[in-house]
Amino acid sequence: MNANVTPRLAVNGIVREFPRRGGEPLRVLDEVSFSVDPGEFVSIIGPSGCGKSTLFNILAGLDQPTSGSVSFDGEDALGRRDFTAYMPQKDLLFPWRSILANAALGLEVQGVPRREAREQVRPWFSHFGLAGFEDALPFELSGGMRQRAALLRTVVQQRRTLLLDEPFGALDALTKRELQTWLQEVWAEHDWTALLITHDVREAILLSDRVVVLSERPASVRRVIEIDLPRPRDLNTLVDPQFARLERTLLEALGDR
């Protein structure tokens, strides 16, 4: 983090409680605070069910916290959906729409006319390894290509920050590693700011500048760990002794009680 730079994202004291019939509210997030600089790639890891997706829903403007604040570039962002582009765990491609039509959907929802939206999306296809599949239907693509299409739909919205909720979690190991390498390349080229939820510690190390470790529910920030490995990172990075040390540090942080 750079103390002289206004954070792209600042999360301050986020608490989220859900009412329960006949009992105390269920607290899911407990004073969660961290920040992300422009162009930074930050991963969020924590035990299953600790509230990571709830946090993303708040950052995406889909949910409101019980208390606390969220700002993007110093501007209050609670309840606003125009600061982030959110890619959920499943690709959610509409099976009856072509890949081109699916990729343009986010722009159409923003009010861009259909033809104009598709023309804006079309030049991105070669960059995402999807050239020639513009008119294909989702069932004709592999799992990895479907995830590329879903990410394309996300980034063409030209939002300040990408929220990626376990985008590779359902893929086989080989495809996942291929897409991790590819994501690093396109992220570096476009200087996106990205937040990634993942349960894969190795994925977090491979992709991130920093990793935010959350505790069990109610989640609070247990540690923020700098990933000081040189980029670009590839298969050789996985056998670097520093990678092993970082992996152990993260696993120990997750295991703290």
Mean pLDDT by 10 residues, the chain (257 residues): 80 95 90 95 93 93 95 92 85 92 90 92 88 93 88 84 86 82 83 91 94 95 95 88 95 82
Q: What is the per-residue pLDDT for 256?
A: 67
Q: What is the per-residue pLDDT for 2?
A: 62
Is residue 150 domain-shared with residue 169, that is, in the same domain?
Answer: no
Residue 245, C-beta contacts closer than 8 angstroms, at least 6 positions apart: none
Residue 145: closest CA among 161, 169, 129: 129
As given in the structure block, the two tokens for residue 209 are 């500048």
Q: Tokens 């992220």 appear where? A: 187
Going by their DSSP bridges, the two strands 84-87 and 161-165 should be labelled as: parallel
As given in the structure block, the two tokens for residue 218 are 């109610």
Q: What is the per-residue pLDDT for 175?
A: 81
Tally of domains within the chain:
2
Is residue 115 domain-shared with residue 60, that is, in the same domain?
Answer: no
Amino acid at 188: A
Distance of CA 123 to the CA centre of its chain: 23
Q: What is the per-residue pLDDT for 180?
A: 84
For residues 121 and 152, is the Cβ–Cβ distance under 8 A? Answer: yes
Is residue 136 domain-shared with residue 173, that is, in the same domain?
Answer: no
Residue 189: which CATH number? 3.40.50.300
Q: What is the per-residue pLDDT for 121?
A: 92
Q: What is the per-residue pLDDT for 72?
A: 94
Say what the pTM is: 0.89
Q: What is the per-residue pLDDT for 178?
A: 82
User: Which residues are 18's β-sheet partners?
Assistant: 26
Domain boundary among 132, 158, 184: 158
Is residue 41 domain-shared with residue 149, that is, in the same domain?
Answer: no
Is residue 111 domain-shared with residue 15, that is, in the same domain?
Answer: no
Residue 171: closest CA among 194, 127, 141, 191: 141
Domain boundary among 125, 158, 191: 158
User: Which residues are 214's β-sheet partners?
Assistant: 221
Is residue 14 domain-shared with residue 62, that is, in the same domain?
Answer: yes
Amino acid at 239: V
Is residue 170 domain-shared with residue 246, that is, in the same domain?
Answer: yes
Domain hosting residue 123, numbered range:
89-158
Kindly provide the b/e burial profile for residues 159-172, where b requires at least 16 CB atoms within 10 angstroms of the residue's own CB: bbbbbbbbbbeebe
Is residue 71 domain-shared with residue 166, that is, in the same domain?
Answer: yes
Is residue 116 domain-shared with residue 24, that is, in the same domain?
Answer: no
Is residue 104 domain-shared with residue 176, that is, in the same domain?
Answer: no
Is residue 68 domain-shared with residue 20, that is, in the same domain?
Answer: yes
Taking only Cα atoms into account, the Rg of the chain, rounded to an integer number of angstroms, comes to: 19
The torsion angles phi and psi of 69, rounded to 5 degrees, stand at -140, 155
Is residue 138 domain-shared with residue 166, that is, in the same domain?
Answer: no
Domain boundary among 158, 174, 201: 158
CA atoms within 13 A on the CB side of 14: 29
| Terminal Cα-to-Cα distance of the chain (whole angstroms) | 27
